[in-house]
Structure 1
Amino acid sequence: MAEEAHGQVVEPSERLDPETRARREAALKLVRKYGDPVLRSRALEINHFDEALREEVRRMGRLMHDAYGIGLAATQVGKMHRLLVYRTELEGSIAALVNPVLEWASKDKETSEEGCLSLPGVAVEVERPVHVRVSALDEYGKPILIEASGLEARVIQHEMDHLDGVLILDRASRDQRKQAMKTLREQLEPQTA
């Protein structure tokens, strides 16, 4: 999920210094983009909690940070694991959820604009429950229970969707989906100089 400010996706490239912009562009090249079949696949449960998993969490956290994202699912980097990392503030600490399960979602819903690192240039309105309870494991295999509201709940739900092969396009209106597809096609066309 891309950086959000008051429910709006922020494209930070214009305000970054050249070194940070280059680091962001390099990170974004490592994120799988729309059309990659891994983004439509259901990730598998994680059963081994070892140093390799903890390194994957650290690597995903750095990639998310460098890409100016606030959430990243393992499938977005080509790993078929039920693992996601997120944070709700750009410089906030990174949380990891392994094998997350939605235990409860409020009836109260809110519509807000979402972007996605795997769908560059696309932002669509998505309706989601305002409050959720999610059970998961941390990267050491310890059970955790997250009760989240607002942006944190939205980010967790967005990344959990990725683990099931669901994209924000699937939750958008028909008109928004058509516009998003047009944007994605334009980006995939060869650039003429």
Structure 2
Amino acid sequence: MAARPIIRFPDPRLRQKAEPVVAFDAELRSLAKDLTEAMLAAPGIGITAPHIGVLRRLVVLRLESDAAAQAYLNPEIVWFSPETIRHVEGSVSMPGVNEEIERAARVRVRYQDLDGVEHEEEAEGLRAVCHQHEIDQLDGIFWIDRLSKLKRDRLIKKFEKLQRLGA
């Protein structure tokens, strides 16, 4: 089966807040599997259910160091380090463009797994950046909202040009 299509910027669903996951069932597992397939096909290292048009608080991450993709349900950042880092970010919903964003260097994330069991994870570097980026998306904050208006406008123009050229 083909991966579910990823919605593209400026789809308004990318600016909507996702609803909490309340049912930890076969349908949720199927959604997590579909989301993982869409992320790998993109390709990407992180994706949220809103990226495929499903407004639920589900994130899937798979960094190069990970053996397998990991699902995070109802994730929330419970602590941010005062230190920050800058990292180049982009989105599976806005392919072909990226820009450097400043984020907390370390975070602690509370989330549930696919069985509804609660966990906490400390993350630093790229994993911390990914958590912040994807949780922003669940809150309806698209990554370019973290840029200055000038950088955001330039990036949107570049993306629109790429879309016109069929990239």
TM-score, normalised to structure 2, is 0.92
Aligned equivalent of 2:140, options 143, 165, 171: 165
Name the amino acid aligned to 1:149.
Answer: E
How far off its partner does 1:63 sit?
Answer: 1.5
Looking at structure 1, the residues matched to 65 and 11 of structure 2 have their Cα atoms a distance apart, in angstroms, of 27
Identity over aligned pairs, percent: 36
Name the amino acid aligned to 1:114.
Answer: E
User: SS in structure 1 opposite 2:87?
Assistant: strand
* Paired positions, count: 166
Which of 1 and 2 has greater Rg?
Answer: 1
User: SS in structure 2 opposite 1:146?
Assistant: strand
User: SS in structure 2 opposite 1:156?
Assistant: helix
What is the root-mean-square deviation in Å for CA atoms of aligned residues? 1.9
How far off its partner does 1:87 sit?
Answer: 1.4
Give unpaired runs (5+ residues) of structure 2.
Answer: none
Match runs of 1:94-173 below 5 Å: 94-173=69-148
Aligned equivalent of 2:61, options 65, 81, 86: 86
How far off its partner does 1:90 sit?
Answer: 7.4
User: SS in structure 1 opposite 2:115?
Assistant: coil
Matched, 1:179 2:154: yes
How far off its partner does 1:188 sit?
Answer: 3.6
Name the amino acid aligned to 2:14.
Answer: L
Name the amino acid aligned to 1:108.
Answer: E
Name the amino acid aligned to 1:33.
Answer: R
Aligned equivalent of 1:68, options 13, 21, 43: 43
Give unpaired runs (5+ residues) of structure 1.
Answer: 1-25
How far off its partner does 1:59 sit?
Answer: 1.3
